[in-house]
């Protein structure tokens, strides 16, 4: 087949490239030797007398440096396409969050059929409004396709298909391997340049001789030659592959308007000065992108042929650019209007409900059939026997709109509560049978597994697109505040939801300065007070009990005393306290946690229910401050319900 | 001397024949595989339709015939697909499947026209998702057919060229039929999943 021929060509190109790379290395080594020899003779004034092993040492060091650099980067890249995608900040598309993402998943699967390849993993670059995409991976098996948010929103279905087909061509023709190798090699050559720059720049040291500065300068010059050569190689190979991929995209989709339209929209974005990629490491993968950025070097250094030329080859004649505005709902055909898919909120739902009532003779939305056989629905397969299975099923389904209702179902305490009404207002009017089914399933979970199930759903929600995450949090606060007050369980649920969906822990991780116990004293007091209040809810001697607990905490943590004033127990105060505690030193966090658990779980609480709620609170706290569960807390939960791991 | 030459020629011819035979077998298997891929996508479509009908039924109390026509066409197409799967080379099996699929496409197209008249059904969240799924399924079936036709073309090319055609005749490698994308007027009006 032609594909195989292309692959062989790509392999031959890779071999040629390797040869050229080795040649460049050799030249670089020679140049380094020349520079050093020159420097040596300038220093000693003798043109021919060099120390023993002078050239050998130089050559070996230089070669080790370049090849080592290439090798390290290649090893990094060997970790697969997913690694490259994550490197530039892409989010894996596990559960399609909205109509756009559902469409992407479908389009990728369609192209997998058309090209006869396995479906690659999909990634989305959320923050990029420029239309772009890339494929990465070492093998066809671990390939990934990443698409920017801009491409999802600004292309119609056919154009998205063209773009995906273009990337599939890169996968099929073995370009990814070539691309990855190029990244590694060029990096190795660049390393020499960087070393030279460091040597040249480091002039402040006392005993630094001018020779070092000259050496640095020399290395820089030599290194930049190598680097330039690498870039030339990279660009020359890449340009041909782009034409091939454009042609293959037309072949797969059997129409030029898909990829052609996408390129014309990119041309429009260029004309309006839209940057192609925002990621800081985007430069590294510039030659893998669908279209490289606006500052792309012209001529021999450009990794992509000019857009106009690509468009001309696709259509056979020059074409004007297309407007690249976000595709609005009305013109969005044939797929459903994605904007409308997302615009599902309370107001919308209420309006739908009214339409239902207004139609005479029509059955109510919740007709007998829908409630009697909710399992017949394709999306919600036959009801599994146990609640745990239900959770597994829910987590394995691909339907995006079940995730939010199911997660928020855990915020609803029971039938007929204000929270229940709020939840129903948000989710039930449009799809009552299934939504109610979800709620019933959530309630049927045993209390001891409630918290774990909520956490697991939240870990899945993390992969939703940002807009959906924001909406989910807004809905959660709506439900929780439905009855005008905050229960203890609600406080913990809210904290957990905000913590996990905001991915605040990432910023905490980057924090280099950790706090001491004394710094966190007031945070510890606040949370201790909260735990005491929750445990002895409705009991009289709260004040004395608080005092006792504070005292015990002070002893357990070997602090002077805990007589800090606490500013009430409002949600923001508690939130700040947990955030502060999350900055406590790694080694100290388990100690605080242990002290709390020892106290809270020591004497039997009033009843079983409150024992569970206090355990759930401690469990949530473990996640919030990012520390493992102490053994006595762990023992209260079924074996399989461990804390969700941080990825 | 002459005998040796003859023997060498015979051996060469035999080796060539074996090579051609193996190649044709490989290509024929590729066709079966490509058909299986269509089958997978058709099954996706058959699975999708009952749920589409289920969603639509809540709103379309007065359009029972349209819905029943879709279900009937779906069942017929499913039966035809089963037959074609069992005996790919059987006379007219692939063609019958094509016809059944065309009928299903027509029925779906009619249903989608009806949906146009019910704004609240069109606005139903499930319905919108189904519309995307249906579009995708149509595309998948299309791409799978494309891949099937590509492999048929490659096989037929290989089997008809000299000297492979001699081997093909000898071991009865019949020419395979491509799937016509439009077998009837009904199919030319592919289900418009436009909203």
Interface test with B, best of A336, A345, A349, A428 (most B CBs within 10 A): A336
Cβ distance A102 to B132 less than 8 Å, yes or no, reads yes
**For A597, what's the count of Cα atoms within 13 Å in the CB-facing half-sphere?**
23
Rg, chain A, Cα only: 31
Per CB distance under 8 Å, which residues of A are interface residues toward B? 1, 99, 102-103, 106-107, 109-111, 113-114, 116, 157, 161, 252, 254, 333-337, 340-341, 344, 352, 355-356, 359, 362-363, 365, 367, 369-370, 376-379, 399, 401, 430-431
> The whole model's pTM is what?
0.56
Q: 3-state class of A145 per DSSP? A: strand
Task: State the Cα–Cα distance between residues A56 and A101, nearest whole angstrom.
Answer: 57
> What is the interface size between A and B, counted as CB pairs within 8 Å?
90
Question: Closest to B124 (Cβ–Cβ): which among A109, A114, A430?
Answer: A430
Say yes or no for a CB contact (<8 Å) between A107 and B136. yes
Contact call for residues A43 and A211 (beta carbons, < 8 A): yes
Question: Residue B15: is its pLDDT beyond 90?
Answer: yes
Over residues B17-33, the mean pLDDT reads: 91
Q: Which residues of A are catalytic?
A: 167
Q: Which residue of A has its CA nearest to B55?
A: A377
CA atoms within 13 A on the CB side of A275: 9
How many other C-beta atoms can be found within 10 angstroms of the C-beta atom of residue A70?
23
Q: Which residues of B touch A99 (CB under 8 A)?
A: 128-129, 132
β-partners of residue A134 are A146, A289
Look at residue A632 and give its three-state secondary structure: helix
Which letter does DSSP use for residue A124 in this model? E
How far, in Å, CA of B108 to CA of A594, rounded?
63
* Mean pLDDT for all residues in chain B: 81
| Nearest residue on chain A to B133, alpha-carbon basis | A106
Is omega for the bond preceding B91 within 30 degrees of 0, making it cis?
no
Best residue in A96, A109, A375, A378 for a mutation probing chain B (most B CBs within 10 Å): A378
Q: Using one digit for the tens of pLDDT, what is the confidence trace for B62-107?
A: 778 888 888 888 888 888 888 877 776 666 777 787 788 888 888 8
Q: How far does A143 lie from chain B, in Å, by closest CA?
A: 21
Q: Is B133 on the interface with A (CB under 8 A)?
A: yes
Give the span between the Cα atoms of A464 and A502, in whole angstroms. Answer: 11
Query: What is the chain B residue with the closest CA to A109?
Result: B140
Q: Is A489 exposed, middle or buried (0-12, 13-18, 19+ CB in 10 A)?
A: buried
Q: Residues 134 to 163 of B: which have CB under 8 A from any A CB?
A: 135-136, 139-140, 143-144, 146-147, 154
- Put simply, whether B126 touches A (Cβ < 8 Å) is yes
Peptide bond preceding A585: is omega within 30 degrees of 0, i.e. cis?
no
- Asked if B123's CB is within 8 angstroms of A352's CB, the reply is yes
Least confident of A56-65, A498-507, B154-163, B166-175: A498-507
Give the model's pLDDT for residue B18. 93
Q: What span, in angstroms and rounded, lies between the C-alpha atoms of A182 and A236?
A: 11
Contacts of B147 in chain A (CB under 8 A): 113-114, 116
Tell which residue, A95, A120, A191, has the closest CA to residue A458: A95
Provide the pLDDT for residue B13: 92
Interface of B with A in 173-192 (CB under 8 A): 192
* Interchain proximity A107–B61, CB inside 8 Å: no
Q: B129 in contact with A at a CB cutoff of 8 Å?
A: yes
pLDDT of residue B24: 92
Q: Taking chain A (647 residues) in consecutive chunks of 10 residues, what is each chunk's mean pLDDT?
A: 56 72 81 80 75 82 80 73 80 79 89 84 85 83 86 88 90 75 73 74 57 74 75 73 82 84 85 61 66 55 75 80 62 32 32 33 34 34 48 57 79 80 75 69 78 82 76 86 79 85 56 74 83 70 77 79 63 83 83 85 68 85 84 77 55
More confident residue, B121 or A328: B121
The neighbouring-strand residues paired with A147 are A124, A133
CB contact under 8 A, B128 and A341: yes
């Amino acid at each position: 087949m032609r594909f195989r021929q292309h692959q062989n060509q790509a392999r031959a190109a890779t071999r040629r490239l390797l040869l050229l790379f080795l040649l460049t290395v050799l030249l670089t080594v020679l140049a380094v030797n020349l520079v050093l020899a020159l420097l040596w003779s300038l220093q000693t004034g003798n043109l021919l007398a060099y120390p023993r092993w002078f050239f050998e040492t130089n050559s070996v060091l230089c070669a080790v440096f370049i090849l080592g650099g290439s090798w390290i980067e290649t090893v990094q890249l060997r970790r697969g396409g997913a690694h490259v995608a994550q490197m530039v900040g892409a989010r894996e598309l596990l559960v399609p969050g909205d109509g756009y993402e559902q469409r992407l998943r479908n389009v990728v699967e369609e192209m997998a059929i058309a090209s006869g390849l396995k479906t690659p993993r999909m990634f989305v670059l959320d923050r990029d409004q420029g239309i772009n995409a890339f494929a990465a991976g070492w093998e066809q098996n671990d390939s990934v396709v990443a698409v920017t948010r801009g491409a999802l929103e600004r292309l119609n279905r056919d154009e998205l298909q063209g773009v995906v087909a273009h990337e599939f061509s890169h996968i099929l023709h073995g370009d990814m391997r070539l691309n990855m190798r190029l990244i590694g090699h060029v990096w190795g050559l660049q390393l020499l340049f960087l070393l030279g720059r460091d040597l040249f720049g480091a002039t402040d040291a006392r005993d630094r001789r001018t020779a070092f500065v000259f050496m640095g300068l020399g290395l820089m010059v030599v290194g930049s030659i190598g680097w330039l050569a690498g870039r030339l190689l990279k660009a020359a190979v890449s340009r041909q592959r782009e034409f091939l991929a454009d042609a293959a995209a037309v072949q797969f989709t059997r129409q030029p308007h898909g990829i052609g339209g996408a390129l014309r929209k990119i041309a429009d974005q260029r004309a309006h000065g839209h940057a192609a990629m925002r990621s800081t490491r985007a430069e590294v993968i510039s030659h893998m992108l669908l279209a490289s950025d606006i500052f792309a070097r012209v001529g021999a250094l450009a990794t992509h042929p000019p857009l106009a030329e690509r468009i001309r080859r696709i259509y056979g004649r020059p074409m004007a650019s297309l407007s690249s505005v976000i595709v609005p709902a009305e013109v969005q055909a044939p797929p459903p209007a994605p904007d409308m898919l997302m615009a599902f909120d309370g107001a919308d739902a209420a309006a739908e409900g009214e339409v239902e009532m207004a139609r005479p003779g029509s059955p109510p939305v919740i007709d007998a059939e829908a409630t009697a056989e909710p399992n017949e629905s394709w999306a919600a397969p036959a009801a599994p026997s146990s609640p745990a299975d239900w959770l597994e099923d829910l987590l394995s389904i691909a339907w995006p709109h079940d995730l939010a209702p199911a997660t928020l179902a855990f915020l609803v305490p029971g039938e007929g509560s204000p929270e229940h009404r709020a939840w129903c207002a948000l989710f039930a009017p449009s799809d009552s049978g299934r939504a109610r089914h979800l709620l019933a399933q959530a309630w049927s979970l045993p209390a001891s597994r409630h918290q774990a199930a909520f956490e697991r759903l939240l870990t899945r929600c993390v992969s939703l697109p940002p807009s959906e995450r924001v909406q989910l949090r807004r809905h959660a606060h709506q439900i929780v505040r439905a009855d005008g007050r905050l229960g203890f369980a609600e406080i913990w649920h809210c904290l957990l939801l905000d913590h996990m969906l905001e991915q605040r822990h990432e910023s905490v991780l980057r924090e280099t300065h950790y706090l001491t116990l004394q710094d966190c004293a007031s945070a510890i007091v606040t949370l201790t007070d909260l735990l005491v209040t929750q445990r002895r809810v409705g009991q009289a001697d709260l004040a004395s009990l608080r005092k006792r607990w504070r005292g015990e905490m002070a002893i357990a943590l070997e602090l002077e005393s805990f007589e800090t004033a606490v500013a009430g127990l409002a949600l923001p105060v508690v939130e700040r306290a947990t955030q502060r505690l999350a900055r406590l030193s790694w080694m100290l966090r388990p100690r605080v946690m242990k002290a709390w658990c020892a106290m809270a779980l020591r004497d039997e609480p009033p009843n079983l229910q409150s024992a569970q709620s206090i355990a759930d609170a401690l469990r949530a706290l473990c996640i919030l401050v990012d520390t493992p569960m102490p053994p006595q807390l762990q023992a209260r939960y079924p074996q399989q319900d461990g804390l969700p791991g941080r990825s | 001397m002459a005998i040796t030459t003859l023997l060498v020629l015979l051996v060469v011819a035999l080796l060539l024949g074996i090579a051609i035979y193996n190649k044709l077998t490989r290509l024929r298997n590729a066709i079966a595989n490509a058909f299986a891929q269509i089958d997978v996508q058709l099954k996706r479509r058959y699975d999708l339709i009952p749920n589409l009908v289920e969603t639509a039924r809540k709103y379309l109390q007065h359009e029972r015939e349209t819905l029943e026509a879709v279900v009937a066409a779906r069942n017929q197409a499913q039966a035809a697909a089963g037959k074609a799967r069992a005996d790919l080379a059987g006379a007219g099996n692939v063609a019958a499947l094509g016809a059944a699929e065309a009928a299903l496409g027509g029925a779906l197209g009619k249903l989608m026209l009806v949906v146009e008249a019910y704004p609240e059904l069109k606005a139903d969240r499930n319905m919108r998702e189904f519309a995307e799924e249906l579009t995708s399924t149509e595309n998948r079936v299309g791409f799978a057919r494309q891949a099937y036709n590509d492999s048929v073309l490659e096989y037929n090319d290989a089997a008809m060229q000299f000297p492979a055609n001699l081997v093909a005749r000898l071991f009865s490698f019949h020419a395979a039929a491509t799937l016509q994308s439009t077998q009837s007027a009904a199919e030319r009006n592919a289900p418009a999943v436009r909203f």
